[in-house]
Structure 1
Amino acid sequence: MRNKLFEGGVSFVLDGGFHCGLPKMVKVQQSFKRQKLDDIPAKMREELENLSDGSSLKGQRLAITVGSRGISGLIPVLQETIAYLHAQEAEPFIVPSMGSHGSANAEGQVAILASYGITEASMKVPIRSSMDVVHVATMPDGIPLYLDKIAMEADGIILCNKIKPHADFKGGVESGLLKMLCIGLGNHLGASSLHRYGFHQFHWVIPEAGERLLQKVNIPFAIGLIENAYDELMDIVAVEQAHILDAEPRYLAQAKQNIAQILFPDIDVLIIQEIGKNISGEGMDPNVTGRPGSGVAGFHGPSIRSTVVLALTKATHGNGVGIGMADVTTLGLVQSLDLSAMYTNAATAGTLATAKIPMVMNTDREAIVFALKTAPIHDIQTAKIVWIKNTLELDTIMVSTSLANEIDDISAAKCVSDPLEFRFDAQGKLMPW
């Protein structure tokens, strides 16, 4: 249901109005390393076969964690894992493990999994969702560590998550297996408790919490997934409990070497077609934009004068966390926000800036024109504009002719079209390239 923010539209005076010509845009192909898995099921089976004798799993009830991120190839990874556990005569089931996402309720988290095609029918195992937690361990300063009650009542937990750079902090361990354990499986209470340390301390909080929890739980194995710059699985690793702490930093380093970037260092206006929780924890990845909502140092990106965000992905279910890092947005996006989901997520993470609403324009065209007219440029026709679909898909982007003229200085990029006009429909909506 659409909310009623800015009902009736937005009206104000803009010098010269919104009627002006826009620069032409050129399609550009950016090239990144593209190691990828051609046969995900085969790689998954290989990793599982390399584990210790699985006969000890017979009869065990095992909770498999699944988070809220969109992960390439996740369905075959889960299906092969479930088939392996069934072959060992274990009893696997899935536990949504996403902290406060899905509006911090059990039904919302199941709905997020379903949006990725992960259902009881597709997985052929139960999905058991609850916000109930139990106190499992304690941090050095006395802060309790909580884990999902259903998972803790099982005989063991199979951690499964993407290992990647985090959107809010930098460290030897960021987003991956340990974060899934202490934040994702902590549900709303556990995630909220740890986030009160602040992201500026997460470089030690996540490893410390993870190590303490590993001493208290049974994890027969964990599955780490590493993606390349094209949002494709490039590696899968099955790690036994004793090796998780040592292995995760190595795989994070591998992931960091394979992230996509915008290769143009100086941008007047960045247009982002869509943001969402399936794209990044902050909707648009600060590892690409250089703008973390946490304010923590260590993020690098292009110099961007103004960022325009036009829409939310369907898979984000109205959670627009990250929109606060934009400068301009649209009425359609704001009215599609689920403020309950967004505010719950931002409050849990302690990153309130990510849920602030930027300046709102009535249409996509107005948003782009406004950003150009308020950026520090004298001639719109010479503006340096980059237009991307989202911060995951950066192999093909659009740039204005001013930037296209600089393409010879960027070895990993090339122009692949003639200059093209921006196209808008009758309602001012930007048409995809």
Structure 2
Amino acid sequence: MSIIEELLKDIPVPKMIKIKQRFHAPELADVSFEVRKTLNDSNVLERISEGDNVAIAVGSRGVADISVLVRETVNAIKGVGGNPFIVPAMGSHGGATAEGQRGVLKQLGVEEETVGAPVKSSMEVVKIGELPNGLPVYFDKNAYEADKIVVINRVKPHTCFRGPVESGLMKMITIGLGKQKGAEAAHSFSFKYMAEHILDMTKISIEKTPLIFGLATIENAYDRPAKVMAIPIEELLEKESLLLKEAKSLMPKIQFDSIDVLVVNELGKEISGDGMDPNITGRYPTPYASGGPDVKRIAVLSLTEKSEGNANGIGLADITTKEVYDKIKWEKGYANALTSTVIDVIKLPMVLESNELAVKAAIKTCNALDLTKAKVVRIKNTLDIGEIWISESLLEDSRGLRDIQILSDPMEWDFNH
């Protein structure tokens, strides 16, 4: 028995109870129909002339039904005589290479065979201006040379800053279409000024490029489309700000304010840009965003295959496993961290040999007065918190919550799942 096993062998692990969290979750019945309807009702297609080459900017996040959103937009543009093509709008993601970004879109189901338009991927940019503080504004060269530009993205709260707009169309214009150089410029003064930079850089992009409209979605607590809206480019700030407020109201959450140990089964780049969404865990990589539960210890047990070794966000955990450590390709996470200037997300937490040891270490170090009554929550990942596991010590708290349903009796831990 190792010294670590000796130290942890008597740490009590509570029995866990499966519960269901219910959230207000409006959902579009027919996404294809709603995309066609908003494109027609908003009259944005009238801005496209016969023969126009139209760039459609698509990002790296796992937006629900993204291939449907893109395909319907492609078809609508073709229907008015335009020639659409896809450009990756994802800053430095995909390893900051043209083929890497093409590969990210393919993983998301966005390629010519599925959406009906070719993908033009390049890291080349054009400098289109600069802010009064000297920050340059860059723009994807393929998009810049198009006759018209459309952006498609989900609007939601960001994990590192707060502002009138956060993650959404304007951030995609600034950072996504800015590619690696644009992302680096936007992040260079820290997230303290990110909201301000996004507004100012987007204004320059609108003035200097043929941007005509955006297609925005917001998602419900179960990551399904709740609304889709075509927004004329001149109405972008007003409409996106309203959508952000609505998106925040639909966000899921762990319905316990104080947690001693949060066990996250899997970390993943496709789950959140930070591997696990700080809006859910309450653990943020910068001081410019806040919210969520007060969590003493976070243990991460695995890394998703789709992350391909990018463990961005592991630094927000306190404890992880050797399984995770062995999968990490540090350069991938470091590339993101160096671009964003946020390096805590890729620091290495304590590494334990097994899931059981990781959980016990988290309980031992949570500083609960009575470890047998530690408040423990276990989730699959931060995208999937409809059904979660809670320790018996949280059972009484759950009875006072209207949107909680008890699904099981107390059960021993299954450390393999």
Q: TM-score range by the shorter chain?
A: over 0.9
- DSSP 3-state at the match of 2:96: coil
Cα deviation for residue 14 of structure 1 reads: 5.5
The match for 1:25 among 8, 11, 16 is: 16
Structure 2 unpaired stretches of 5+: none
**Hey, what does 2:133 align to over in structure 1?**
141
Please tell me the root mean square deviation across aligned C-alpha atoms, in Å: 1.6
Whose helix fraction is larger, Structure 1's or Structure 2's? Answer: 2
Say whether residues 1:272 and 2:264 are aligned partners.
yes
Say whether residues 1:152 and 2:144 are aligned partners.
yes
Say whether residues 1:226 and 2:218 are aligned partners.
yes
Cα shift readout 1:221-261 (whole Å, capped 9, x = no counterpart): 21011001111110000011111122111111110111011
| Amino acid of the structure 1 residue aligned with 2:405 | K
Greater CA deviation, 126-135 or 55-64?
55-64
- DSSP 3-state at the match of 2:250: coil
| Amino acid of the structure 2 residue aligned with 1:321 | N
| Amino acid of the structure 2 residue aligned with 1:300 | G
1-structure distance, mates of 2:187, 2:146: 26
Structure 1 unpaired stretches of 5+: 1-9, 425-429
Contact 1:64 1:159 in 2 (8 A): yes
Say whether residues 1:107 and 2:99 are aligned partners.
yes
**Hey, what does 1:391 align to over in structure 2?**
382
Cα deviation for residue 295 of structure 1 reads: 2.5
Contact 1:18 1:370 in 2 (8 A): no
Give TM-score, length-normalised by structure 2: 0.96
| Amino acid of the structure 2 residue aligned with 1:23 | P
Cα deviation for residue 405 of structure 1 reads: 2.5
- DSSP 3-state at the match of 1:43: helix
Cα shift readout 1:384-413 (whole Å, capped 9, x = no counterpart): 110011112111110011111221222221
1-structure distance, mates of 2:268, 2:202: 27
Say whether residues 1:95 and 2:87 are aligned partners.
yes
2-structure distance, mates of 1:55, 1:393: 40
Cα deviation for residue 338 of structure 1 reads: 2.0
2-structure distance, mates of 1:54, 1:400: 57
Superposition map of 1:340-419 within 5 A: 340-419=331-410
Contact 1:388 1:394 in 2 (8 A): yes
- DSSP 3-state at the match of 2:8: coil
Superposition map of 1:121-270 within 5 A: 121-270=113-262
2-structure distance, mates of 1:366, 1:158: 50
- Percent identical pairs in the alignment equals 38
2-structure distance, mates of 1:93, 1:203: 29
- DSSP 3-state at the match of 2:399: helix
2-structure distance, mates of 1:56, 1:95: 18
Cα shift readout 1:154-211 (whole Å, capped 9, x = no counterpart): 1121111110000100011111111000101111111001100110111211111111
The match for 1:287 among 279, 282, 285 is: 279
Give TM-score, length-normalised by structure 1: 0.93
Say whether residues 1:83 and 2:75 are aligned partners.
yes
Cα deviation for residue 55 of structure 1 reads: 7.0
Contact 2:28 2:227 in 1 (8 A): yes
